């Protein structure tokens, strides 16, 4: 009965394919987390246990008296960010560095507050994954109502879009800050990066159109006829964020700045407010990194 043989062979083959497919679906390829991390600090590389390193990150990144669920969200974001830095090989001989402007802040966690230690322990091994890889879990201190879309600074990621953030002047110290510059200083600072700008007229005519993105932050400003990005202006005038207003009054240029940090990903003060309102760390992470999955090994 050749017909029945062919049918049986076909069935067997289909079964094998189905099993292979199921296996791929049910057991995604997954490496265990590294046990240690190579930390670059003051030009030296030290290898230390991952979870011990994370205690030092959370201690350096978030006040210990923040809500326990906010500390746990920070621990998971930091663990994920560590894996992301390691995977992206941004340092030749180390996984991460202790400079918050490059990787994330770190200090010796030996004397860390028990609340910080507990947040790391209670989330041990947990991290956020997107598309099979550790997510780029950027975080910052505080936002001005909405977080920044990653596309505005480093290029887009589906889980780093602008979302609401509940902190305000009541929940964040120094939420609104000011920076003042004399017309001379203002002009020279801008000319240092854009020599073609024209500041020959009266100072009150130097401020042109200011364009904001959907999160309310300055994307571009025309000053002295030249275009400057909000990110560049933040850097040039040491502003705490790109959520600022600019006016010329009483003979000085005055920036009024809201929030602190680049604004992308989790707002630490926002996480603290969410936790105080009853959100657990999973809800906080799902809010600030929508579409990522929490992996628990
Ligand atoms: Zn680094």
Q: Per-residue DSSP letters for 144-194?
A: BSBPBPGGGTT---TT----B----TTTSTT-EEEEEE-HHHHHHHHHTT-
**C-alpha 101 – ligand 1 centre gap (Å):** 8
**C-alpha 99 – ligand 1 centre gap (Å):** 6
Burial class (CB in 10 A: 0-12, 13-18, 19+), 52: middle
Question: What 3-state class would DSSP assign to 250?
Answer: coil
pLDDT at 32: 80
**C-alpha 136 – ligand 1 centre gap (Å):** 14
**C-alpha 97 – ligand 1 centre gap (Å):** 4
**C-alpha 61 – ligand 1 centre gap (Å):** 15
pLDDT at 23: 38
Structure tokens at 105: 């802040």
CA distance 110 to 35: 18
CA distance 226 to 155: 24
**C-alpha 96 – ligand 1 centre gap (Å):** 5
**C-alpha 36 – ligand 1 centre gap (Å):** 16
Burial class (CB in 10 A: 0-12, 13-18, 19+), 91: middle
pLDDT at 4: 61
CA distance 13 to 21: 12
**C-alpha 66 – ligand 1 centre gap (Å):** 26
- Assign residue 223 a region (left: φ > 0; alpha: ψ between -120 and 50; beta: otherwise): beta
pLDDT at 21: 45
**C-alpha 87 – ligand 1 centre gap (Å):** 12
**C-alpha 98 – ligand 1 centre gap (Å):** 7
Contacts with 47 (C-beta within 8 Å, 6 or more apart), sequence order? 36, 37, 38, 39
**C-alpha 57 – ligand 1 centre gap (Å):** 13
**C-alpha 51 – ligand 1 centre gap (Å):** 18
**C-alpha 152 – ligand 1 centre gap (Å):** 21
CA distance 288 to 279: 12
Contacts with 19 (C-beta within 8 Å, 6 or more apart), sequence order? none
pLDDT at 13: 52
**C-alpha 21 – ligand 1 centre gap (Å):** 39
CA distance 248 to 282: 45
CA distance 40 to 86: 12
Tens-digit pLDDT profile for the chain (297 aa)? 455 655 565 555 554 444 444 433 333 436 788 899 999 999 999 999 999 999 999 999 999 999 999 999 999 999 999 999 999 998 999 999 999 889 999 999 888 999 999 999 999 999 999 999 999 999 999 999 999 999 988 888 999 999 999 999 999 999 999 999 999 999 999 999 999 999 999 999 999 999 999 999 999 999 999 999 999 999 999 999 999 999 999 999 999 999 999 999 999 999 999 999 999 999 999 999 999 999 987
Question: 């200083």: which residue's tokens?
Answer: 185
**C-alpha 231 – ligand 1 centre gap (Å):** 20
pLDDT at 33: 87
pLDDT at 19: 47
The domain locations on the chain are 36-169+262-296, 176-258
Q: Are 166 and 273 in contact, with CB atoms under 8 Å apart? A: yes
**C-alpha 105 – ligand 1 centre gap (Å):** 9
Centre a 10 Å sphere on the Cβ of residue 102 and count the other Cβ atoms it contains.
12
**C-alpha 194 – ligand 1 centre gap (Å):** 29
Phi and psi dihedrals of 198, rounded to 5? -115, 110
Question: What 3-state class would DSSP assign to 75?
Answer: helix
pLDDT at 296: 87
pLDDT at 185: 98
**C-alpha 39 – ligand 1 centre gap (Å):** 9
Contacts with 61 (C-beta within 8 Å, 6 or more apart), sequence order? 74, 78, 100, 104, 105, 139, 268
Q: Are 287 and 82 in contact, with CB atoms under 8 Å apart? A: no
pLDDT at 2: 53
């Amino acid at each position: 009965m050749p017909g029945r043989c062919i049918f049986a062979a076909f069935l067997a083959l289909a079964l094998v394919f189905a099993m292979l497919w199921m296996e791929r679906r049910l057991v995604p390829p997954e490496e265990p987390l590294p046990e240690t991390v190579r930390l670059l600090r003051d030009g030296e590389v030290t290898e230390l246990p991952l979870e011990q390193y994370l205690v030092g990150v959370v201690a350096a990144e978030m006040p210990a008296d923040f809500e326990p669920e906010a500390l746990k969200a920070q621990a998971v974001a930091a663990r994920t960010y560590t894996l992301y830095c390691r995977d992206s090989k941004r340092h030749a001989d180390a996984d991460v560095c202790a400079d918050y402007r490059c990787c994330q802040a770190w200090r010796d966690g030996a004397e860390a507050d028990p609340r910080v230690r507990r947040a790391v322990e209670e989330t041990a091994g947990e991290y956020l994954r997107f598309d099979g890889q550790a997510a780029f879990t950027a975080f910052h201190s505080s936002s001005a109502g909405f977080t920044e879309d990653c596309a505005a600074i480093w290029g887009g990621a589906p889980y780093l879009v602008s979302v609401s953030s509940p902190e305000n002047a009541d929940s964040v110290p120094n939420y609104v800050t000011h920076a003042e510059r004399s017309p001379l200083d203002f002009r020279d600072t801008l000319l240092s990066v854009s020599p073609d700008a024209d500041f020959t007229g009266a100072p009150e005519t130097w401020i042109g159109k200011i364009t904001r993105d959907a999160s309310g932050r300055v994307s571009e400003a025309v000053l002295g006829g030249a275009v400057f990005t909000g990110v560049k202006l933040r850097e040039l005038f040491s502003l705490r964020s790109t959520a600022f207003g600019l006016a010329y009054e009483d003979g000085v240029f005055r920036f009024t700045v809201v929030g602190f940090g680049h604004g992308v990903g989790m707002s630490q003060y926002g996480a603290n407010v969410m936790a105080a309102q009853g959100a657990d760390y999973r809800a906080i992470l799902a809010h600030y990194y929508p579409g990522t999955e929490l992996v628990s090994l």
